[in-house]
Copies of this chain bind each other. A is one copy, B any other.
Amino acid sequence: MSSKISPSHAMQERIEKGLHQALAIAESKTAPQNLQRALHHAVFPGGARIRPQLCLAVAAACGDDDPDLSIAAAGAIELLHCASLVHDDLPCFDNSMVRRGQPSVHAAFGERIAVLAGDALIVLAFQYMASCSMRSPLRLAPLLKTIAASVGAPHGIVSGQAWECESKVQLSQYQKEKTGSLFEAATAAGAQAAGADADTWKPLGEWLGEAYQVADDIRDVLADQATMGKPQGQDLTHDRPSSARDLGLVGAVQHFDELVYKAIHSIPSCKGEKMLRALVAKEAERLIPEAWFINTSRPLHHHATV
């Protein structure tokens, strides 16, 4: 281990290692190989891995006295996120052929394998947590409940997605469930994995999750503009709720900045406070770079809040 490795880099390595450890549970040479390859394809290479980072950062801030459990919680959350992407990309939803710069699972392996891969990843998330709970078995049930609630019905990711099949949609509830819930679970689970109180940490996940969804809406509208409206942004194509459509671009950016501000200021006073503020600020800059709006009247400069 080199001393040059940054804490953030070490955390990323820990996350990738954890995800490989989880996938190993589902691997076998005597299993159907298309599904095997699809599971790997759905998880590697990853995106920003922001949810597991957030989970581990909160666990670290709470003492992280059971690193096996915190990495399992972080890994489970990322597996569930990957599962939701695989199913979101299906022909009946977004029909996306590309994900993270490579063919989506259904584009590469077909629709049937994509349905099964998503299912297998959901199961694996819970299996991975169970297999890493030996040192702190009493933490398993609360951890599992937190994470399950954030992805299931009535108010987790699947419910968020199911709003797209309703005629009347509450934008804030849709965003909270589809994106916010797993961010909230990431911070709460990080605390629970370390034996700490979950409630103190929920607001951070909540605000950040909402910011993330708003950023998605903004990026979608900007992508539209960049391509002169062809092809249209996914939100318009699929007639999905969008804050950028409801608030306008400047309004949405202002809303994003406010949410990041609230996220940063919700971080409880603790030894990991500085690291967490830096993580949130870095993520905010990654999502909506300052440079994009340097000449607009962006009202709240989120960097100033760090």
Binding site for B on A (CB under 8 A): 26-28, 30-36, 39, 83, 87, 90, 92-93, 109-113, 115-116, 118-120, 122-124, 126-127, 130-131, 133-134, 137-138, 140-142, 144-145, 148-149, 151-156, 158-159, 161-166, 173
A123 to B123, CA, bound (A): 8
Interface of A is mostly: helix
Checking B87, B92, B148, B154 against A31 with a beta-carbon cut-off of 8 angstroms, the contacting residue is: B154
Q: Is there contact, CB below 8 Å, between B123 and A31? A: no
Given contacts A87-B115, A112-B93, contact A144 B127 (CB under 8 A): yes
User: Please, which residue of chain B has its CB at the minimum distance from the CB of A159?
Assistant: B31
User: Are A148's CB and B127's CB within 8 A?
Assistant: yes
Residues of B within 8 A of A124 (CB): 148, 152-153
Does B137 contact A141, Cβ atoms closer than 8 Å?
yes
| Closest residue on chain B to residue A169 by CB atoms | B32
Bound complex: CA A120 to CA B133 (Å): 24
- Most chain B beta-carbon neighbours within 10 Å: one of A93, A124, A149, A161: A161
* A118–chain B nearest beta-carbon distance, Å: 7
Taking the closest CB of chain B, its distance from the CB of A125, in whole angstroms, is 9
Smallest distance from the beta carbon of A31 to chain B beta carbons, Å?
4
| A–B Cβ pairs within 8 angstroms, 8 of them | A31-B159, A92-B110, A93-B112, A130-B140, A130-B141, A131-B145, A137-B141, A140-B140
A162 close to B116 (CB less than 8 A): yes
On whether the beta carbons of B127 and A158 are closer than 8 Å, the reply is no
How distant is A135 from chain B, measured CB to nearest CB, in Å? 11
Tell me the bound Cα distance from A90 to B112 in angstroms: 9
Cα(A214)–Cα(B255), bound, Å: 59
A109 to B166, CA, bound (A): 11
Residue contact A113 to B165, C-beta cutoff 8 Å: yes
Across the interface, A163 reaches (CB within 8 A) one of B32, B111, B137, B138, namely B32
B92 adjacent to A165 (CB under 8 Å)? no
Q: Are B32 and A120 in contact (CB under 8 A)?
A: no
Smallest Cβ distance from A274 to chain B, in angstroms?
34
Report if A34-B165 is in contact (Cβ < 8 Å); known contacts: A90-B115, A145-B127: yes
Is the beta-carbon distance between A30 and B165 smaller than 8 angstroms? Answer: no
Residues of B within 8 A of A36 (CB): 153-154
Contacts of A137 on B, CB cut-off 8 Å? 137-138, 140-141
Q: What is the CB-to-nearest-CB distance from A59 to chain B, in angstroms, rounded to a whole number?
A: 19
Q: Kindly list chain B residues whose C-beta atoms are within 8 Å of the C-beta of A141.
A: 130-131, 133-134, 137, 140
